[in-house]
Amino acid sequence: MSPKVPGAQSRGDYSAVQVAVRVRPLLPKELLHAHESCITVDPELHRITLGHDRHFYCDHLFEETCCQEDVYSASVQPLVDAFFQGFNATVFAYGQTGSGKTYTIGEANIWNHSKSRRRYFKLLDENDLTDFSVRVSYLEVYKEEFKDLLEVETASKDILIREDKGNIVLCGVKECEVEGLDEVLSLLESGNTARHTGATQMNPNSSRSHTIFTVYMDQRRGGSRLYSSASSMGPQVLSSKFHFVDLAGSERILRTGNTGERLKESIQINSGLLALGNVIGALADPKRKGSHVPYRDSKITRILKDSLGGNSKTLMIACISPSSSDFDESLNTLNYATRAR
Which positions lie near ligand ADP, rule CB under 6 A? 24-25, 27, 95, 97-103, 207, 249, 319
Nearest distance in Å: CB 98, Mg ion: 8
Q: Which is nearer to ligand ADP, 307 or 321 (CB)?
A: 321
Least distance in angstroms from the C-beta of 93 to Mg ion: 8
Q: Which stretch binds Mg ion (CB under 5 A): 3-11, 101-109, 123-131, 288-296?
A: 101-109
Compare residues 207 and 278 and give the one whose CB is closer to Mg ion. Answer: 207
Give ∠ CA 219-221-222 in degrees, rounded to 5: 140
Distance in Å, CB of 304 to ligand ADP, minimum: 19
Are 282 and 16 contacting, i.e. CB atoms less than 8 angstroms apart? no
Q: Which does 24 bind (CB under 5 to 8 A by kind): ligand ADP, Mg ion, none?
A: ligand ADP
Return d(Cα 35, Cα 29) in angstroms, integer: 9
Nearer to ligand ADP, 74 or 176 (CB): 74
Shortest distance, position 308 Cβ to Mg ion, whole Å: 21
Q: Which option in ligand ADP, Mg ion, none does residue 25 bind, with CB closer than 5 to 8 A by kind?
A: ligand ADP
102 binds Mg ion (CB under 5 A): yes
What residue ranges in the chain does DSSP mark as E strands?
Answer: 17-23, 39-42, 47-50, 54-57, 60-62, 89-94, 132-142, 145-148, 160-164, 167-171, 176-178, 210-219, 238-246, 313-320
- Closest separation between CB of residue 103 and Mg ion, Å? 8
Tell me the one-letter amino acid at 203: N
User: What DSSP string describes 53-85?
Assistant: TEEEE-SEEE-TT--HHHHIIIIIHHHHHHHHT
Q: Which residues neighbour 226 within 8 Å (Cβ) at sequence distance 6 or greater? A: 86, 238
Sign of the dihedral through C-alpha 249, 144, 106, 262: negative
Nearest CB to ligand ADP, comparing residues 203 and 240: 203
* Nearest to ligand ADP of 25, 294 (CB atom): 25
**Min separation Cβ 281 and Mg ion, Å:** 24
Residue 209 within binding range of Mg ion, rule CB under 5 A: no
**Given the rule CB under 5 A, which residues bind Mg ion?**
101-102
